[in-house]
Every structure is written in structure tokens, then in C-alpha cells.
Amino acid sequence: MDGIRARDVTKRFRSVQALAGVSFDVEPGEVVALLGPNGAGKSTLLRILGTTILADSGTVTVAGHDVVEDAAAVRRSLGVMIGDERSHYWRLSGRRNLHFFAALAGMTRREAASQTQQLLEELGLAEAADRRVGEYSSGMRARLSLARALLAAPPLLLFDEPTRTLDPLAAAHFREHISGVAREGRAGVLFATHNLHEAVAISNRILVLSAGRVALEQQADGMGADRLEAAFLDAVRSQAGNEVATADTAVRA
Amino acid sequence: MSTVRVVAAFIRRDFRIHMSYRLSFVLQTGTIFFFLALYYFLSQLVDEQEFAASQNITGDYFDYAAVGLALLSILQVGLSSFSQKMREEQTTGTFEALMATPTSPSLVVLSSALYDLLRSTAFASVLLATAVLFFGLQLDTDPASLAVALVALVGCLGLFASLGVAVAACTVIFKQTAALAGMIVSGLALLSGVYFPTDVLPEALQKVADVIPFTWGLDTVRAALLGGEVDTSRLAGLFGSAAVLLPCAVIGFTTAVRRARHTGTLSQY
């Protein structure tokens, strides 16, 4: 099965060129970290992949489906965690939230009940499953968002700064879970983050976006956070020349 | 089957959220009594015989107003609920999550107000039952009359939904549209004969009132429930309008969502 293929993607919001010709691939089963300074275009890119924003030009396919021509098929192939923790119904329980979104994903009530229970247990939410989401902590809501993304067992996952609101322990659990999902071959993952330690800890590959372009594309294997930080800073600074850097050229020894 | 599951999921969701605000439910039901009492005493000022003769019904002004109020309560919900739901989804942050599911935007918007429409229909039934039990409203309970009223109600629901979805489309683009929905409800209430017969309006406005499908629906329901003569051409016009307007409104909503995807404002409020 195909992963994600993006070619020459551009997007402009009025006077802001959010994406200026982004191309990259995410292979099935691969975990790719998307880094970049604020305003680099990470969230816009994830939303284009998730079909909630339309690109101005370029092509994007997810699991072989075009995000414009076959958006419904793309959404069936994706689990997304793009919005913030508010994106749940706070007056409903965690379980009811998952049942609702399972129905929208086309699952039967029986499938929804069994998959929901399994994910709630897997993510440590089983005891709080029948409490209102409004009573959850930020960490619990983030785990609920992850459960929602995993509901229909999609082959690809998109996360926008998934550990932003989590304490270090909750963030570590979250990363372990994402790593497990990828290790077991359950899904490929593309996640945006500002946490360089997180990026090198769980990803196979790093993409750095800067000023709407891919400024660095690098395998993450064996790359420490310090080395990534140097490469990241160099890549972002050299982006003015619109050249794609590699870790070898970007890192100062 | 998947469509039925989605619709049922929305109804269950909204029922549970609504039930979580129990006091609001009790208070809303309580207002029916006071609302009807107001019109009951107001009707004492209107000559019963003269009014019935002029309006092609057997009842008095209270009967006329009670049926109008029942239908208006459904119109208000039908018109405002679609946009209000979209607005709630925008402000609570769930709209983008909904749009990222495989369910089509048109099914999302149509399903989102279904529970409110069912609830408002139940509310209108309770209003009429209260009017019968406590204020002497005399409804024509002949099965044929009730069937005609029910058919007209279905047509009205289709019409209200089309207006509601159109306003919801504006909500996706312009965000704040509560005033628009309020203006349409007030305008229709003024021109369609909810509170008073349209023949008291100036001649020019009477002509406008005469071509508004809501007037046709209201006249048909009133005639069926209050012993008047049903004009089948108006009933057909009501269904014809709903059949044309609802698909147009759904296309408009889908177009609005596509525009919001293009401008990147789907998650904004």
C-alpha cells in the first residue's frame, strides 16, 4: 500500500506564502517527524494531507488516493490528531465520544464498542471511560484524541504537536504508544513537533520545514538531539537561499 | 446502512448532551403554559364568530394563534438549529474533527439538527396538547384531517431545513449568523400569519405573504386542524418548494465547506 506522496505543494493565505513547493514521501510503517519554526507551514501541510485545507497547486496522495479528487477515501485511510484537546464533546463521556466518531468512520455499533474498549484499555483510559471529557486532564484528553485517531485502524496517522500539553511522563507514554503502533506495523506516522528529543527518539526520518519549504531531510537513525538541533538551526538559517540542506552539509562539526 | 448509523449517532449524541442540561429542559417545557395563557387572554379581546368566519376555520383567535405558535416553534428550531450547531462545533473545536471524518459534509449538517427538529416537533405537540387540556383548543381529530396536517408538517420540516442549511452555509463562511436566522424567523412570522391573519397587512405585503411557502404550510395545517378547507395546490406548492430548496441549500453548504477548506478557515471561529 502507498504511503503519503506530496509533490510541489503550495499554499498562500492572502499575503502569506505558507507553503512554497513542498515535496516529500512517507512510506508505510515509517515514522517521520516534521520540524520547523513557528509559521513554517507544518500545520497547514498536515491539514492539506488531512483534507481540511485545499492546496493551491501541487499533488498529494494518501494511500494512493488524491486528497482533492478522493477526499473521503483519504479520510478513511487517515487517523488525525490535528485540532487541540477541545475537539471532543465535553458533556459526553470518553466512551460516548469514541462511539460517535466510530459511527462517522463507518463502523457498526458492535465494532465501535469492541474497538473503543480495546483502545481505552490500551491507553489507560478504561477507568475514566464513562466520565465526562470535561472532567479529564489534558493528558487524558490527548490520549482520547489518540484513541480517536486509531479507532478505524487507519494505515496512516497525522499528529500536530501531540505532546504539546502533556507533562513529561504523559508525553513519554504517548511516545511509547506511537512507537509501538509503528513497530507493530499498524500504521505509518507523520507528526509535527517542536521537541527535538521527541523527534529523534521515535522517528525514522526528520523533515524540517522553513518558510514553506523543506529545508532539511535526514534519516534520524543514530542522530542525537544535539546534532539535530545544530542541523535544524543551520537549515532554517540557510533557507533564505532556498536550498535543501542535508545533515552532512548543515551540521557544523 | 452507514447513513442510518451516522444519523442515529448524531441523534444519540444530541439527546445525551441535551439530557445533561436537565434544568433547561424542565424550564422550556414550563414556558409553554405561560406562553399559551398569554394568547388565551389576548384572544378574549377578539370577536370569536367574526374571526372564525373571516379565517376559514371553526375556532377562535386562540385556536388560530396556538396552531401558528406550534408551527413557529418548529420553524425557529429548524431555521436556527443547523447554523447554531455548526457554530457550536466551530467554537468548541469539533467542526474540523467532523470534517476530517469520511462522512460527507452534507450528511453532517443534515444530521446535526435532526434531534432538535424532532424535539421541537414533540414540543409543538405538547404545546397543542396543553392548549387542548387547559385552554379549550378544539382540534379536528378526524384521521383524514390529522393525516393532512402531518403531511403538511413534513413539507414544512423540509422547507425549514432548507432555510436552516442555507443559514448554516453562511455560518461556515461568515461565522456569526445568529442575527440572520433571527431576521428570517421574524420576517416569516410577520408575513406568514403566525400571530395574525395576513389580510390585516398592507396590500403589497399581502401579495408577498401569499407567495411564501411557509404561509402555505401554515394555512394547510390550520385548515386541517381547525376544520377549514384544505387547499391542495398550496400543499403541493409547499412540497415543491422544499424539493427544490433543500438540494440547493445542501449544495450551498458543500460549496461553503469547500471555500473554507480553500481559505483555511474551517477550524476558525
CA distance A103 to A115: 12
Residues 6+ apart with CB under 8 A from A138: A85, A165, A166
Say how many domains are in chain A: 1
List the single range of A3-12, A63-72, B45-54, B144-153 with lowest mean pLDDT.
B45-54
List the single range of A229-238, B48-57, B243-252 with lowest mean pLDDT.
B48-57
Phi, psi of A245 (to 5 degrees): -90, 160
Task: Name the residue among A55, A75, A52, A63 with its Cα closest to residue A7.
Answer: A55
| Structural domain contains residue B122 | yes
Residues of B in contact with A109 (CB under 8 A): 5
List the single range of A51-65, A116-130, A154-168, B241-255 with lowest mean pLDDT.
A154-168
Residue B241 gets the label, from left (phi > 0), alpha (psi -120 to 50) or beta, of alpha
User: What number is the average pLDDT over the span A48-75?
Assistant: 95
Q: What CATH number does the domain containing A222 carry?
A: 3.40.50.300
Is the model's pLDDT at B165 over the cut of 60? Answer: yes
Kind plus residue range of the DSSP H or E element containing A209:
strand A205-210
Tens-place pLDDT, residues B1-33: 589 999 999 999 999 998 888 777 777 777 888
- In order of A129, A204, B61, B133, the CA distances from B36 in angstroms are 44, 69, 12, 11
- Give the pLDDT confidence score for residue A85 in this predicted structure: 67
Is the model's pLDDT at B173 over the cut of 50? Answer: yes
- Give the pLDDT confidence score for residue B90 in this predicted structure: 86
Is the model's pLDDT at A207 over the cut of 60? Answer: yes
Give A104→chain B minimum CA distance, Å: 6
Is the model's pLDDT at B227 over the cut of 60? Answer: yes
Whether B100 and A75 lie within 8 Å, measured CB to CB: yes
User: What number is the average pLDDT over the span A148-158?
Assistant: 94
| Structural domain contains residue A124 | no
Say how many domains are in chain B: 1
pTM reported for the whole predicted model: 0.87
- Give the pLDDT confidence score for residue A241 in this predicted structure: 57
- Give the pLDDT confidence score for residue B229 in this predicted structure: 87
- In order of A84, A192, B59, B233, the CA distances from B140 in angstroms are 54, 65, 10, 21
| Structural domain contains residue A132 | no
- A230 or A222, which is more confident: A230
Binding-face residues of A in 187-226 toward B, CB within 8 A: none
- In order of A207, B14, B25, the CA distances from B18 in angstroms are 45, 6, 8
CA distance A21 to A60: 12
Extract the C-alpha cell encoding B14: 444530541
Q: Return the residue in A89, A108, A148 with the most chain B beta carbons within 10 A, the one to mutate for interface testing.
A: A89
For residue B15, what is the nearest residue in chain A, using CA coordinates?
A92
| Structural domain contains residue A204 | yes
- Give the pLDDT confidence score for residue A247 in this predicted structure: 44
Tens-place pLDDT, residues B89-132: 988 889 999 999 999 999 999 999 999 999 999 989 999 999 99
| SS3 per-residue string spanning chain B | CHHHHHHHHHHHHHHHHHHCCHHHHHHHHHHHHHHHHHHHHHHCCCCHHHHHHHHCCCCCHHHHHHHHHHHHHHHHHHHHHHHHHHHHHHHHCCHHHHHCCCCCHHHHHHHHCHHHHHHHHHHHHHHHHHHHHHHCCCCCCCHHHHHHHHHHHHHHHHHHHHHHHHHHHHHHHHCCCHHHHHHHHHHHHHHCCCCCCHHHCCHHHHHHHHCCHHHHHHHHHHHHHCCCCCCHHHHHHHHHHHHHHHHHHHHHHHHHHHHHHHHCCCCCC
CB-closest option in A54, A83, A101 to B267: A83
Task: Name the residue among B86, B76, B112, B94 with its Cα closest to residue B192.
Answer: B76
Q: B193: domain range?
A: 2-263
User: What number is the average pLDDT over the span B209-220?
Assistant: 93
Residues 6+ apart with CB under 8 A from B27: none
User: What number is the average pLDDT over the span B60-80?
Assistant: 89
- Give the pLDDT confidence score for residue B54 in this predicted structure: 78
CA distance A165 to A132: 19
Binding-face residues of A in 115-134 toward B, CB within 8 A: 132
Q: A158: domain range?
A: 4-88+150-250
- Give the pLDDT confidence score for residue A84 in this predicted structure: 67
- Give the pLDDT confidence score for residue B1 in this predicted structure: 54
Task: Name the residue among B225, B33, B222 with its Cα closest to residue B127.
Answer: B33
User: What number is the average pLDDT over the span B45-65?
Assistant: 82
- Give the pLDDT confidence score for residue A250 in this predicted structure: 42
Instruction: Give the three-state DSSP class for A174.
Output: helix
Extract the C-alpha cell encoding B36: 399559551
CA distance A214 to A238: 11
Extract the C-alpha cell encoding B156: 414544512
Count of C-beta atoms within a 10 Å radius of residue B28: 12
| Structural domain contains residue A65 | yes
Average pLDDT value for chain B = 90
Extract the C-alpha cell encoding A227: 546534532
What is the widest separation between alpha-carbon atoms in chain A?
A: 57
User: What number is the average pLDDT over the span A88-99?
Assistant: 96
- Give the pLDDT confidence score for residue B92 in this predicted structure: 87
Residues of A in contact with B10 (CB under 8 A): 100
| Structural domain contains residue A112 | no
Instruction: Give the three-state DSSP class for A184.
Output: coil
Report yes or no for ipTM above 0.95.
no
CA distance A189 to A193: 12
Residues 6+ apart with CB under 8 A from B204: none
Kind plus residue range of the DSSP H or E element containing A78:
strand A78-81
Task: Name the residue among B17, B101, B10 with its Cα closest to residue A134.
Answer: B17
- Give the pLDDT confidence score for residue A252 in this predicted structure: 37
- Give the pLDDT confidence score for residue A242 in this predicted structure: 55
Extract the C-alpha cell encoding B11: 441523534
- Give the pLDDT confidence score for residue B79 in this predicted structure: 85
Whether A87 and B94 lie within 8 Å, measured CB to CB: yes
| Structural domain contains residue B268 | no
Whether B96 and A87 lie within 8 Å, measured CB to CB: yes
Whether B264 and A84 lie within 8 Å, measured CB to CB: no
For residue B263, what is the nearest residue in chain A, using CA coordinates?
A13
Is the model's pLDDT at A35 over the cut of 90? Answer: yes
Give B98→chain A minimum CA distance, Å: 8
| Structural domain contains residue A232 | yes
